[in-house]
Amino acid sequence: MATVSGSATVGGVSFPVSAAVTLPAPVTPPPVSPQCYFGVWDDGSGYPSDGVTFSWAGVQKFAAAKVLSATYYLAWLGPFPVGLNALAKANGAALYLNLEPQGTWGGGPNPAVPDIAAGKYDSWLTQIGQAIKAGGNTCRVTWAHEMNGDWYPWGTQAITAQQWVAGWTHVYQVIKAAAGNLAQMTWCPNNNDGGRAVTPFWPGQNLVDVVAMDAYLNTASASQTFSSFIAPTVTEIRKLTSSPIWNAETGVEGTGRSARITQFVSDMHSAGLSGFTWFNEGDYLLQPAELSALTTAVNAWNAG
């Protein structure tokens, strides 16, 4: 609130007046995250056929920097990864659990998002929440991530944003009821490249514990940078919420990437992101020098 002064004229006589007006709050950048919430996906730690036997070897590759999160992708109706959650807890990390409405265990059909929203799969979702609570370790949990893309069965080619939000709302409520605050529900669209807006999928702050996005530098060209390719999505998300933003899945394509990785991590830090998870597979698999550059960059972030 501010007071604006001026004058008014009545009957040829001028006199001073003042009025209280509301001015827009100044826009300030978010604080730079003091510690990088650094996570790892490495298929050396994933997808055991029995859902029970896990290894920490894939995450351990990154131990030159402090790893705070280990990712796991869980197909629909699959067993909670108790072993990986225990390994994460023992190593001072959280589990980042991606619940995917596809690849249904037992060979059944992919679930329909409206059926999920209507409660058809509440028994399994409750079991997941109960397993999180029993494990006693914080789990970041996302459901049907990258929903603004068109490459998953729950993508924009298959359902509406409203249907996705209804599904998210129900999954959020069921898992939180079973797990409490040990489940940090993580909203995670894809980077808005190619006109894939994230805004229609925002369920509201009361239905999101962690704000995230998946955002890669997915061409080999050095001209694709955080500023040119990812920053616009950060700007879009910040119009929805003031919560910190975590890059929950990322990587850099190309060869000779060490310098580019170093700059990318520095740019995410400067932009005020809370951290990132490196997807160490396929085109984003790191060679030893690149892995060293990545962990050195994380340590520089943590050193302030």
Query: At how many degrees (to 10) do helices 122-135 and 82-90 cross?
Result: 30
Q: Which of 99, 93, 196 is nearest to 141 (CA)?
A: 99
Write down the pTM of the prediction: 0.88
Give the list of residues 6+ apart from residue 235 with CB closer than 8 angstroms, or none.
none
Contact criterion met (CB below 8 Å) for 274 and 244: yes
21, two tokens: 């007006």
Per-residue pLDDT of the chain (304 residues; tens, 9 = 90+): 444 344 444 344 444 444 444 433 433 445 556 899 999 999 776 555 566 678 899 999 999 999 999 999 999 999 999 999 999 999 999 999 999 999 999 999 999 999 999 999 999 999 999 999 999 999 999 999 999 999 999 999 999 999 999 999 999 999 999 999 999 999 999 999 989 999 999 999 999 999 999 999 999 999 999 999 999 999 999 999 999 999 999 999 998 899 999 999 999 999 999 999 999 999 999 999 999 999 999 999 999 8
Domain range annotation of the chain: 33-303
Give the list of residues 6+ apart from residue 238 with CB closer than 8 angstroms, or none.
30, 245
User: What is the domain class of 33-303 according to CATH?
Assistant: alpha beta
Q: Which of 284, 214, 286 is nearest to 65 (CA)?
A: 286
To the nearest 5 percent, what fractions of the chain are helix, strand and coil? Answer: 35, 20, 40
Contact criterion met (CB below 8 Å) for 142 and 186: yes
**How far are the Cα atoms of 93, 100, 120, 196, 285 from residue 40, in angstroms, in the given order?**
10, 18, 32, 25, 12
